[in-house]
Amino acid sequence: MTTTRIRPLEPPYSPPVTAALEQVMPSGVAPLLLFRSLAVNEHVFLRMMAGSLLDQGAISLREREIVIDRTCARCGSEYEWGVHMAFFRHRVGFTEEEVGATCAADAESTVFPPRERLLLKLVDALHDTGRVEDRLWYALWAEWTESQLIEIVALVGFYHLVSFFKNAFELPPEPYAPPFPGVPGRERGAI
* pLDDT tens digits for range 73-123: 999 999 999 999 999 999 999 999 999 999 999 999 999 999 999 999 999
Q: What is the dihedral of CA 80, 70, 140, 161, to 10 degrees?
A: 40
- C-alpha to C-alpha distance for 25 and 143, rounded to whole angstroms: 32
C-alpha 24: how far from chain center: 14
- C-alpha to C-alpha distance for 140 and 149, rounded to whole angstroms: 8
pLDDT for the residue 92: 97
pLDDT for the residue 190: 39
**Domains along the chain?**
15-50 (no CATH), 61-169 (1.20.1290.10)
Res 48 pLDDT > 60: yes
Structural element, H or E, at residue 92: helix 78-92
Res 185 pLDDT > 70: no
pLDDT for the residue 52: 73
Q: Is 154 exposed, middle or buried (0-12, 13-18, 19+ CB in 10 A)?
A: middle
What pTM was computed for the model? Answer: 0.92
pLDDT for the residue 191: 36
Distances (CA, A) of 61 to 2, 58, 152, 154: 32, 9, 12, 15
- Percentage of residues in the chain having pLDDT higher than 70: 94
CB neighbours (10 Å) of residue 16? 14
Res 34 pLDDT > 80: yes
Which one, of 167, 178, 173, 186, lies nearest residue 6 by Cα?
Answer: 167
C-alpha 149: how far from chain center: 17
Q: Is 43 exposed, middle or buried (0-12, 13-18, 19+ CB in 10 A)?
A: exposed
pLDDT in tens, 173-184: 999 999 999 765
